[in-house]
Amino acid sequence: MTPALPRTRSLVGLFTCLAVTPVTLADTQALQLPNETIKNLGYVRIADAPSLEPPTFTIEAWIRPMGPGVGGGDVWGCAIVNKPTEGGSTFVLPSYMLGWSPTTKRITAIGRTEDGVNFNGFSTTLVQVGESVHAAMTFDGTWMRVYVNGVLESTVPSPGGAIAYGAEDVLLGASNFSGGKLRRFDGVIDEVRIWSTVRSAAQIEAAFQCPLPCTDRASLEAWYRFEGGSLEDFSDGGHPGTMVGSGSFIDGVTQCQDPIVSGDVDGDLCVGAIDLALLLGAWGSTQSPADFDFDGEVGASDLAILLGAWNG
């Protein structure tokens, strides 16, 4: 059905009054933390929040180790995504940590219960310096699982009890524990996702290479893509990161082929109000991504496509 044009024109006037900033989810950049020596200690700090303390969770990221890092030479290794106990003087491991050990070359997963007991999972895949992989850990309240490139590699039981959480911030690339256990990761991190649910093996495998479909973001508490040098949280969780020390942004390490979603103008894979505003702002344009039917002009037929694909 083609919407009536007079009403459309009034919407054009309404939406062109709005300042709309297009958002792109093209994967071109990643976070690089050159933690080569004790003198360069870059990491990202994300303020503590209840939504970052889920009883069950999935944590995932793309990584490319570039060196041994600083203070992570044991089997637990350097931190990728970590809710640590910072600064302490006794040996306490994080509430959760997804990491990589420069000693064993394995992806590592750590949990800690309220009884103070740690439990760990390790990948069977060995990840060498310079190699890009997707790493994920899940915890369902009983079992911790470790995935590499979407494949389940380790399933370990917890000792029982809930995950112990405190007021610590979430850190990317660091642990900051005293006694030299800084666990600073030297390498590249991209597509960090923190979920408050357990993603199935099929879900992890289906989504690790590409931007998340609009309809697959429920329970996504934090999402860092690092595009444009941004530490913005692309989920609805509202947890922006802050760079501490030295870090930079380089070409991405994921292997995404951005899918084309008809009706999606701004490239976030969702079809909603921003896309409508952009389409109406481009009304009559002969060169616009809102020309979904490729007839050379943005018009009523494109609007009908957008409204038909609307998913918020």
Residue appearing with tokens 């990948």:
123
Report CA Rg, the chain. 22
Nearest-CA neighbor of 45 among 185, 173, 135?
A: 173
Consecutive H or E run containing 81: strand 78-83
- d(CA 168, CA 132) in angstroms, rounded, equals 29
- Kindly tell me which of 30 and 98 has the beta carbon lying closer to Ca ion: 30
- Count of residues that interact with Ca ion, criterion CB under 5 A: 15
CB 62 within 8 A of CB 134: yes
Q: Is 60 one of the binding residues for Ca ion (CB under 5 A)?
A: no
Nearest-CA neighbor of 111 among 102, 129, 99?
A: 99
- d(CA 93, CA 254) in angstroms, rounded, equals 29
Sequence-separated (6 or more) residues with CB below 8 Å from residue 39 = none
- Kindly tell me which of 27 and 168 has the beta carbon lying closer to Ca ion: 27
- Kindly tell me which of 105 and 217 has the beta carbon lying closer to Ca ion: 217
- Kindly tell me which of 110 and 188 has the beta carbon lying closer to Ca ion: 188
Residues between 147 and 206 with contacts to Ca ion, criterion CB under 5 A: 190
Shortest Å, Cβ 298 to Ca ion:
6
Binding mask 220-259 for Ca ion (x = CB under 5 A): -----xx-------------------------x-------
- Kindly tell me which of 94 and 272 has the beta carbon lying closer to Ca ion: 272
Residue 70's beta-bridge partner residues?
A: 184
Shortest Å, Cβ 189 to Ca ion:
9
Shortest Å, Cβ 275 to Ca ion:
4
Shortest Å, Cβ 201 to Ca ion:
23
Shortest Å, Cβ 227 to Ca ion:
5
Consecutive H or E run containing 7: helix 5-16
Shortest Å, Cβ 122 to Ca ion:
26
Binding mask 284-303 for Ca ion (x = CB under 5 A): -------x-x-x------x-
- Kindly tell me which of 93 and 204 has the beta carbon lying closer to Ca ion: 204
- Kindly tell me which of 97 and 188 has the beta carbon lying closer to Ca ion: 188
Residue appearing with tokens 């979920």:
195
- Kindly tell me which of 135 and 270 has the beta carbon lying closer to Ca ion: 270
Beta strands in 87-240 (DSSP E): 96-100, 106-112, 118-126, 133-139, 143-148, 151-157, 170-172, 186-195, 220-224
Binding mask 14-33 for Ca ion (x = CB under 5 A): -------------x--x---
- d(CA 202, CA 138) in angstroms, rounded, equals 13
Neighbours of 249 (CB within 10 A): 19
Residue appearing with tokens 């590409």:
210
Binding mask 257-276 for Ca ion (x = CB under 5 A): -------x-x-x-x----x-
Shortest Å, Cβ 239 to Ca ion:
17
Residues that bind Ca ion (CB under 5 A): 27, 30, 190, 225-226, 252, 264, 266, 268, 270, 275, 291, 293, 295, 302
